[in-house]
With several copies, the nearest count.
Chain A
Amino acid sequence: MLKYANPTNFLALAGRLIPWLAAATALSLGAGLFLTFFVAPDDYQQGSSVKIMYLHVPSAWLSMMCYVIMTSAALGTIVWRHPLADAAQKAAAPLGAIFTLLCLVTGSLWGKPMWGTWWVWDARLTSVLVLFLIYLGLIGLWQTIEEPAQAARAAAILTLVGVVNIPIIKFSVDWWNTLHQPASVFKIGGPAISGSMLWPLLIMAVAFTFLFLTLHLMAIRNEILRRRLRRLSIDAAHAEEKSEATA
């Protein structure tokens, strides 16, 4: 494991993994979309708008999972000061923001037919919005601090502080009385949802996870390469600056 913490080994590993992950993403996404649109039944109450669920729920899960992964990377940054952890953190923030946005948008689209409004200010929706805002703040922080190691430490601290929001999102439906659905898949006593809807949902969730992993690895790889390039150009400039001055 530690062997792959070396950025060079990591690049090699990522290079080998990415094609497989991309293939797995394509396969599972294809299967998931097929099941969603051609196999899964319409809901007797909701009609075909229930199909939004197969996008909404996986993106909601991924928005939280991404934060959890970012938090582990943040710990890596703080405890080991490892550049790979820095890159993993940085790469996760925009992905998290995109999945959260997807969750918000699909939720709103679903809310219009279901609740008669695009948006309500209940605890679940609000805490997801806060998650989105935290992602945006992190992106802003990454953009503002030029020096990568310093930006990583600052972002790690903010990430760790913001992690309290995750349990709030997860349990908001249980702690407060909300319009939003309580957990029906991951709950004590097994899923309270029929198999014909559960399977497509789970496959879509797997597909989204693969999609995330592919994009995340690719973004980490880009970040490492960008840093190397930056470092090379700085070194070259300083070396030449010196020879120029002594000439």
Chain B
Amino acid sequence: MRSPLSALFWRELRIARSVGGGGAMGVVFFLILVSLTPFAIGPDLNLLSRIGPAILWIAALLATLLGLDRLFQADADDGSLDLLLTAATPLELIVLVKCLAHWIATALPLVVASPLLGLTLAMEPESLAGISLSLLAGTPALTMLGAIGAALTAGLRRGGLLMAVLILPLTTPVLIFGVSSAAAASGGTVPFHIPMLILSALSLASLAGAPFAAAAALRARDA
């Protein structure tokens, strides 16, 4: 617990907790998004259970990305980012640890909450397990891709939308395979493990690549 990276990790978690209960807000946002859909679509349970996985995945996508926009912005504003550059720790590792803390504080609660929300959308039990597993496998990719967007917009002081606009298109593959593995879980022609493998591969690839992209973007900022 004495290394710089663990210090960073705990700092991030502590800050996340201080803001409206951190992860809790992400889950509540997720909950709200999921419950808005039936308001809009109407109370047709067949339809809802048909598009349930899609709703949950889109909501998770948005909750993850929107919580991310201040990942580096806050550090850039208060000068922490400059100081992190003078640490001996490579910036890539710093990015990775920040993402890890963010994933634990924001995405993990979504994974845990998703089966409950799926219930309100009248999804079947196998489907519920499928959605949880697919979120577990897929959200790391979302967080890492989002980190690239957050790094690109760190200096700009109006992240929010701009960051979402930059990164959302890149997340389409994750979304497609996420929904299809959730769908495969409740029967279908594709066996469950195929989209899950692809999803995990996407997550691994972005875990490997995104820290470099994000670190480069952070260094390129006109500080």
Are any A and B Cβ atoms less than 8 Å apart in their complex? yes
* Interchain CB contact under 8 A, A143 and B213: no
* A157-B21 CB under 8 A given contacts A119-B119, A134-B169: no
Give the residue name and chain of the B residue nearest to A132 (CB).
B169
Residue A136 interfacial (CB < 8 Å): yes
Scan B203-223; emit 1 where CB is below 8 A from any A CB, else 0.
000000100010011001110
Q: Which of A78, A144, A147, A162 contacts B19 (CB 8 A)?
A: A144
Scan B3-42; emit 1 where CB is below 8 A from any A CB, else 0.
0000000000000001111001100100110010011001
Q: Which of A129, A141, A150 contacts B162 (CB 8 A)?
A: A141
* Interchain CB contact under 8 A, A137 and B156: no
Residue B166 interfacial (CB < 8 Å): yes
Residue A39 interfacial (CB < 8 Å): no
Residue A133 interfacial (CB < 8 Å): yes
Residue A121 interfacial (CB < 8 Å): yes
Residue B170 interfacial (CB < 8 Å): yes
* Interchain CB contact under 8 A, B220 and A130: no
Alpha-carbon distance between A185 and B28 when the two chains are bound, in angstroms:
33
Q: Which of A78, A140, A149 contacts B21 (CB 8 A)?
A: A140
Residue A126 interfacial (CB < 8 Å): yes
A140 neighbours in B (Cβ, 8 Å): 20-21, 24-25, 28, 162, 165-166
B113 neighbours in A (Cβ, 8 Å): none
Chain B interface extent, by class: 35 or more
* Interchain CB contact under 8 A, B28 and A133: yes
* Interchain CB contact under 8 A, B217 and A154: yes
* Interchain CB contact under 8 A, A143 and B20: yes
* A141-B152 CB under 8 A given contacts A117-B122, A133-B169, A161-B213: yes
Residue B79 interfacial (CB < 8 Å): no
* Interchain CB contact under 8 A, A160 and B213: yes
B39 neighbours in A (Cβ, 8 Å): 121, 126
Residue A158 interfacial (CB < 8 Å): yes
Chain A interface extent, by class: 20 to 34
Alpha-carbon distance between A154 and B20 when the two chains are bound, in angstroms:
14
* Interchain CB contact under 8 A, A126 and B172: yes
Name the residue in B20, B31, B148, B217 with the highest tally of chain A Cβ atoms < 10 Å from its Cβ: B20
A136 neighbours in B (Cβ, 8 Å): 28, 165
Alpha-carbon distance between A133 and B35 when the two chains are bound, in angstroms:
10
Give the residue name and chain of the A residue nearest to B41 (CB).
A121
Alpha-carbon distance between A144 and B221 when the two chains are bound, in angstroms:
13
Residue B120 interfacial (CB < 8 Å): yes
* Interchain CB contact under 8 A, A154 and B220: yes
* A153-B220 CB under 8 A given contacts A130-B172, A140-B24, A144-B20: yes
Residue A145 interfacial (CB < 8 Å): yes
Residue B187 interfacial (CB < 8 Å): no
Scan B181-203; emit 1 where CB is below 8 A from any A CB, else 0.
00000000000000000000000
Alpha-carbon distance between A121 and B155 when the two chains are bound, in angstroms:
36
A119 neighbours in B (Cβ, 8 Å): 119-120, 122
B74 neighbours in A (Cβ, 8 Å): none
Residue A122 interfacial (CB < 8 Å): yes
List A residues 165-186 near B (Cβ within 8 Å). 165, 168
A162 neighbours in B (Cβ, 8 Å): 169-170
- 5 cross-chain CB contacts under 8 A: A121-B48, A141-B166, A145-B155, A158-B152, A165-B170
Given contacts A121-B48, A168-B173, 7 further A-B contacts (CB under 8 A): A118-B120, A126-B35, A145-B155, A150-B222, A157-B216, A158-B152, A161-B170
Residues in chain B within 8 A of chain A (CB atoms):
18-21, 24-25, 28, 31-32, 35, 38-39, 42-43, 45, 48, 119-120, 122, 148, 152-153, 155-156, 162, 165-166, 168-170, 172-173, 209, 213, 216-217, 220-222
Closest 10 CB pairs of A and B: A153-B220, A121-B43, A140-B20, A133-B169, A121-B38, A144-B20, A137-B166, A150-B222, A130-B169, A119-B120
Residues in chain A within 8 A of chain B (CB atoms):
78, 117-122, 126, 129-130, 133-134, 136-137, 139-141, 143-145, 147, 149-150, 153-154, 157-158, 160-162, 165, 168
